[in-house]
């Protein structure tokens, strides 16, 4: 066991003193007296983002850098007719193979860990060009091939009906074939890479997980939403991000919080009134909807994102998923990553500097140290000397 200490759940300390002017209308709350001083750096970042007239377009930013294989897999945002066309093309190829008496096989981009690449110029993980064959005539592959074909059939029906379903719904459609939801979930990602679309384009989503509260308004499927008036806990981030439009905000930054407890403390205190901001949490490891929502907020509002995470390896790992992507979803990293999130909060190097008492610290566990050492080997961590320094403090004896 290491003698090093780490910060536990970050705590929000601001206190809301709002009272209601009437039973139906809440009076406006003035921002905190020190807001100008606290927000000065945020405003500098915001002004730079908004004044930049030479921003690289998404298309230009995806020009493959020198030294990166041209065979990498990068999916695109496709409309339903385009996704249907791609799926029908796969089905036609399978039908032709069956009619020729050869059974059928499918070429699928490999999502194995050995086929993941970190592209420094893009600051995100992408899927390499290796491919694998899935043949119905191969005894070891026949069941997986049948599952793939069944998932293709089910998703095609969903798209034709113009509806959304959850991953759990998909699994229960054919429990006897899938047996375990991990089987259908994995094949779902395979189908997205085969078609060349994002997973959200397949209209199969995960259950609600993320939360948002604060100074942002938008229209969700024709319903107006004001996240300052959604109760103490805020609004669940919908899995159907494509149904959100007309996003407006007077926030000066986005506060991305790792832990739900810290989020609830700030939400209840109405922290966003004192310091104009939008507060988001995914309650730990981020889900796809929260990652997509965060990226969209930053791109459309052009305000900085501050990440408030625990001062331990898991906190940095979560932050890196938002910024550089995850290996499981590397094929869709261009639509899920939010670069240049500022790490906010106490760091390991601050513990002794500010003489924090022992009751504010916890011993690093063996798993903490193992995770930290694994992160030190990752390219997306090594690019940031400050992160490297803090991680080295975490894992040192």
**Helix (H), strand (E), coil (C) string for 341-376:** CEEECCCHHHHHHCCCCHHHEEECCHHHHHHHHHHH
Long-range contacts of 294-300 (CB under 8 A, 24+ apart): 294/254, 294/256, 294/322, 294/338, 295/335, 295/336, 295/337, 295/338, 296/241, 296/244, 296/247, 297/216, 297/247, 297/249, 297/254, 298/254, 298/338, 300/247
pLDDT at 179: 92
Catalytic residue, candidates 172, 240, 314, 354: 172
Taking the C-alpha atoms of residue 88 and residue 157, their distance in angstroms, rounded to an integer, is 12
Q: Which of 328, 323, 397, 341 is nearest to 366 (CA)?
A: 397
Q: How confident is the model at residue 206 (pLDDT cuts 50, 70, 90)?
A: confident
160-178 tens-digit pLDDT: 999 999 999 999 999 999 9
Give yes or no for residue 3 having a pLDDT over 70.
no
With a CB cutoff of 8 Å and minimum separation 6, the contacts of 240 are: 164, 205, 221
pTM recorded for the entire structure: 0.84
pLDDT for residue 55 is more than 60: no
Gap between the Cα atoms of 309 and 140, Å rounded: 43
pLDDT value at position 356? 83
172 is catalytic: yes
Give per-residue pLDDT as tens, 81-100.
999 999 999 999 999 999 99
Residue in this structure with the two tokens 């065979």, named with its chain if needed = 71
Contacts of 363 (CB under 8 A, 6+ apart): 1, 2, 3, 4, 5
Per-residue pLDDT averaged across 254-278, rounded? 94
pLDDT tens track for 16-52: 444 443 344 555 556 777 778 878 888 888 888 887 7
- CATH number of the structural domain 207-396: 3.40.1360.10
> What are the tens digits of pLDDT across the range 102-150?
788 999 999 988 899 999 888 899 999 899 988 888 888 899 999 999 9
Among 170, 134, 144, 143, smallest CA distance to 155 is for 170
Mean of pLDDT values over 217-235: 93
pLDDT, mean of residues 55-70: 67
| The pLDDT value given to residue 277 | 95
How large is the C-alpha radius of gyration of the chain? 23
Tokens of 51: 């004044």
Q: List the structure tokens of 246.
A: 């007309």
Question: In the chain, where are the structural domains located?
Answer: 80-204, 207-396
Q: Are 364 and 4 in contact (CB under 8 A)?
A: yes
pLDDT(70) > 90: no
CA neighbours closer than 13 Å in the CB half-sphere of residue 122: 28
Letter string b/e over residues 327-366, b meaning 16 or more CB atoms within 10 A of that residue's CB: eebbbbbbbbbbeebebbbbbbeebeeeeeeeeeebebee
Mean pLDDT of the chain: 86
Q: Evaluate whether the domain defined by 80-204 bears CATH number 3.40.50.720.
A: no
């Amino acid at each position: 066991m290491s003698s090093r200490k780490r910060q536990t759940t970050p705590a929000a300390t601001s206190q809301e003193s709002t009272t209601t002017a009437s039973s139906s209308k809440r009076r406006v709350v003035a921002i905190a007296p020190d807001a100008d001083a606290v927000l000065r750096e945020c405003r500098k970042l915001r002004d730079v983002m908004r004044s930049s007239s030479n921003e690289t377009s998404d298309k230009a930013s995806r020009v493959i850098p020198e030294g990166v294989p041209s065979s990498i897999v990068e999916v695109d945002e496709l409309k339903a007719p385009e996704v249907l066309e791609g799926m029908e093309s796969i089905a036609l190829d399978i039908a032709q193979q069956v009619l020729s008496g050869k059974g059928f096989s499918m070429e699928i981009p490999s999502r194995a860990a050995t086929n993941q690449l970190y592209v420094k110029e893009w600051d995100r993980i992408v899927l390499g060009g290796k491919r694998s064959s899935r043949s119905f005539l191969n005894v070891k592959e026949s069941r997986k091939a049948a599952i793939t074909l069944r998932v293709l059939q089910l998703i095609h029906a969903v798209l034709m009906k113009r509806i959304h379903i959850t991953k759990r719904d998909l699994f229960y459609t054919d429990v006897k074939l899938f047996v375990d939801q991990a089987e259908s979930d994995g094949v779902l990602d395979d189908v997205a890479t085969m078609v060349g679309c994002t997973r959200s384009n397949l209209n199969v989503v995960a259950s609600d997980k993320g939360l948002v509260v604060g100074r942002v308004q938008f229209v969700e499927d024709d319903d107006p939403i004001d996240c300052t008036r959604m109760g103490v806990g805020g609004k669940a981030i919908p899995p159907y991000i494509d149904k959100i439009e007309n996003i407006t905000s007077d926030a000066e930054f986005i506060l991305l919080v790792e832990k739900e407890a810290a989020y609830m403390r700030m939400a209840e205190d109405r922290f966003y009134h004192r310091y104009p901001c939008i507060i988001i949490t995914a309650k730990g490891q981020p889900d796809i909807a929260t990652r997509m929502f965060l990226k969209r907020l930053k791109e459309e509002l052009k305000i900085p994102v501050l990440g408030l995470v625990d001062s331990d390896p898991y906190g940095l790992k979560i932050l890196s998923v938002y910024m550089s992507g995850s290996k499981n979803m590397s094929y869709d990293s261009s639509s899920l990553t939010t670069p240049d999130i500022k790490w906010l909060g106490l760091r390991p190097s601050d513990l002794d500097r500010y003489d924090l008492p022992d009751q504010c610290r916890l011993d690093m566990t063996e798993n903490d140290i193992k995770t930290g050492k694994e992160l030190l080997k990752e390219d997306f961590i090594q690019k940031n000397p400050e992160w490297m320094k803090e991680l080295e403090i975490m894992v040192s004896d």
